[in-house]
Structure 1
Amino acid sequence: MRRAYLPMILLSLLLSCHQQARNTDIPIPDESVFNLTSSWHTEEGKEIKLKDLKGKVLVVVMIYTTCKVACPRLVADMKGIHDKVPAALQNKVQYVLVSIDPAHDTPDKLKSFAQSREMDSEEWTFLQGSTESVREFANVLAVKYKEISPMDFSHSNIISVFDPQGNLLYQQEGLGIDNAGTVASITAAAQ
């Protein structure tokens, strides 16, 4: 009699593993950032929607490549966060840098920026969108930015953490601050 249940148990386990591997099939909650329909270009020139990033914990910051003051610090903060997330969880985390200067930060420029900062591996994604999509995403993140002069912006310094379904979990505001809360939220969401 026990043998008759074995195939059903194996099938159940297989389906469970298959569903876990396909966590991108889980419905998107109403408050998810993945409900935004704008299109973006990666540093590789690939066109994506934010929902294409579903399934991983997202660590997101908005920068621009010609920034000389805040953005270098934000990039360093992102790298510091990356370095503190346990290695065993890195495959469950995506670090996303969104340009607030889509007119100048082309995919090629973003790729060059990523390479020069040793951020060109798979866990790093750089995005360029339209002015409207950048504005929409900034509003979701509560990031304020304003063009002061061509290629120069004033902007908020916020790093946001989203769970694999696109729900905002945590925000770190400031430059060079203690990132223990950010790392803890990433670690908890990635486990």
Structure 2
Amino acid sequence: MRNPLLLAALATTLLAPAALAHTEPAAGPRAAADSAIPRPASTGTRDPRVYFTEADLRNQDGQRLKFYSDALKGRTVVLNVAYTTCTDACPLITRQLLQVREELGDAFGKQVFFVTITSDPARDTPQALKAFAQKQGADVAGWSFLTGRKSEVDLILKRLGAFSENVEGHATVLYIMDVDARRMRRMLPNLPPKAIAEAARLIATGKPPGPGPGPAAN
């Protein structure tokens, strides 16, 4: 039987403290609730591959990959935005995700993957991402730190609703996504790691979240 307090935490819309946020999420405080991935092309909305793009990116090991096909397709992904010269929110959120990884146990790297995409691709080379990930203890299999051409990274961030003209202004919300199943949950990073891990498991298994007090996102 699921813990009702944990299920309630999944949908909470409490605002993140200043130490964990450069800015409010682009969709405002309602961004902690569920959000729909774009519907199939037959409805007039682009499919996930087209919407999220096949941007040519590189990970922290310098390997080239396509954003949809290699980072999102067929996976449940917990995605966040960061930049390597950040000294406050980004390291804190990375360490929070390390705790989420622990809560996921064997599901990490098999059912659930982590993706961190830079908001500062002009400066964040694969080498810079590697150094950042290693410093935080996050350079592990199943966790990709991504950069690429600014135009392509900016487009991805805009599609996520996480773009800012200033690198430090990116939204700090976590995106938990199975884009092929068109399921997304946006959660604030200061929620309990167990709650974030549970939300990722629910999306990975296709189960709806339990009832909670949070309103639906726009």
TM-score normalised by length of structure 1: 0.73
Query: Could you tell me which amino acid in structure 1 is paired with residue 197 of structure 2?
Result: V
TM-score normalised by length of structure 2: 0.65
Distance 1:59 1:136 in 2: 19
Cα displacement (A) at 1:168: 4.3
Higher relative contact order (CA 8 A, sep 6+): 2
How many residue pairs match? The answer is: 158
5+ residue gaps in structure 1?
1-27
Distance 1:92 1:109 in 2: 28
Distance 2:75 2:99 in 1: 19
TM-aligned CA distance change 1:73 to 1:139, over 3 Å: same
TM-aligned CA distance change 1:181 to 1:65, over 3 Å: same
Compare the two structures and name the one with the higher strand fraction. Answer: 1
Contact 2:81 2:118 in 1 (8 A): yes
Contact 2:176 2:200 in 1 (8 A): yes
Query: Could you tell me which amino acid in structure 2 is paired with residue 153 of structure 1?
Result: E
RMSD after superposition: 2.2
Query: Could you tell me which amino acid in structure 1 is paired with residue 112 of structure 2?
Result: V
Distance 2:47 2:193 in 1: 24
SS in 1 for 2:187: strand
Compare the two structures and name the one with the higher helix fraction. Answer: 1
Distance 1:168 1:32 in 2: 13
Q: 2:175 aligned to 136, 145, 160, which one?
A: 160
Larger Rg: 1
TM-aligned CA distance change 1:167 to 1:32, over 3 Å: farther
Q: 1:97 aligned to 116, 137, 145, which one?
A: 116
5+ residue gaps in structure 2?
1-38, 206-218
Distance 1:80 1:145 in 2: 27
Distance 1:84 1:116 in 2: 21
Cα displacement (A) at 1:166: 6.7
